[in-house]
Amino acid sequence: MSTIVARQPLPEARSSTGFRLAMLLPGGLVTFFLILFALGLVLFLAFRGNDGSLLGAGFTFANFITVASDPLYWTVTLRSLAIAGLVTLATVVTAYPVAYYLAYHAGRRRGLLLFLVTLPFWTSYLLRVFAWKIVLAYNGVLNSALVESGIWSEPTLAFLNTPAAVVVTLAHAYAPFAILPIYVALDTIPKSLLEAASDLGARPFTSFRRVVLPNSMPGVLAAALVVFVPT
C-alpha cells in the first residue's frame, strides 16, 4: 500500500516568490494610487454636479448631456484628435530613420548617440516648447533669417500660433519617446534573418520591406501609443 506524500515548497522557492512579490509591490502601489485611483476619481467626478465643492454634489448625467449637445466640445475633441494624429505621424516617420541608424549603422558611436537622444529628458518640457516659440516668433530666429537673406521683406506671424507650429513643437518634444521603442524593436531583430535574406538574393530595400519593417512594427505601435495618448 503506497502512501502519497504532498510535496512541500522548498525554502528557495518560497523565498523566490516572496522576493518577486516584494519587487512588484512598489510598482503595483504606484500604478494603483497614481493611475487607477486618479482615473477612478475622474470617473467619479464625471457623475457629480459642480456646486463649487471639492467632490461635487449629487449624482447626475448633466455633464455627459452637455458634452454630447454642445458643438464646442465636439470641435475641441475632433481638433485635438486631428492634431494628435498628425503629431504621431510626424514623430514616428522622423523617428524611424534615427532608430534604424542607431540599430544598424551607429557602430561604436551608438552609446554617444543614445545619450544625445535622451538628452532632452534632462531639460524641462516647457523650456523645449519655449525654445520653439523663440524660433517661430515674429522677431524669432526663422523670421530673422528669412529677412536677412532677402527672401522676405518683413517678418510674418504665419509661423506662430498655428496648428503647424503645434505639430512641429510636439513632434520635437516627443521624439525621444518614439525613437527608443523603435530602436529596441529593431535591435532585437536577429541579424541572421537579414543574412538569410541577403543569401537568398534580396536587395537591401527588399530586406527592409519584408524583414525589418514587419518585425519592427511592435516598436512602431508602441511609439505611436506613447506619443498619441499624451498629445
Which structural domain, as residue segments, surrounds residue 94? 71-228
> Is the C-alpha dihedral spanning 9, 15, 20, 25 positive or negative?
positive
CA 163 vs. chain centroid, Å, equals: 19
- Determine the Cα–Cα distance for residues 15 and 187; give it in Å rounded to an integer: 34
All three cell numbers of 83: 492634431
User: Do 165 and 137 lie in a common domain?
Assistant: yes
Q: Report the run of H or E that residue 57 belongs to, with start and end.
A: strand 57-59
**Interval 51-78: pLDDT, tens:** 777 777 788 888 888 888 999 999 999 9
* Residue 179, domain CATH: 1.10.3720.10
Domain count, the chain: 2
User: Do 171 and 133 lie in a common domain?
Assistant: yes
User: Do 45 and 87 lie in a common domain?
Assistant: no
pLDDT in tens, the chain (231 residues): 455 555 555 555 556 777 788 788 888 888 788 888 888 888 888 888 877 777 777 888 888 888 889 999 999 999 999 999 999 999 999 999 999 999 988 888 888 998 998 888 888 888 888 888 888 888 888 888 888 888 887 888 878 888 889 999 999 999 999 999 999 999 988 888 888 888 888 888 888 888 888 999 999 999 999 999 989
Does this model's pTM top 0.85? My answer is no
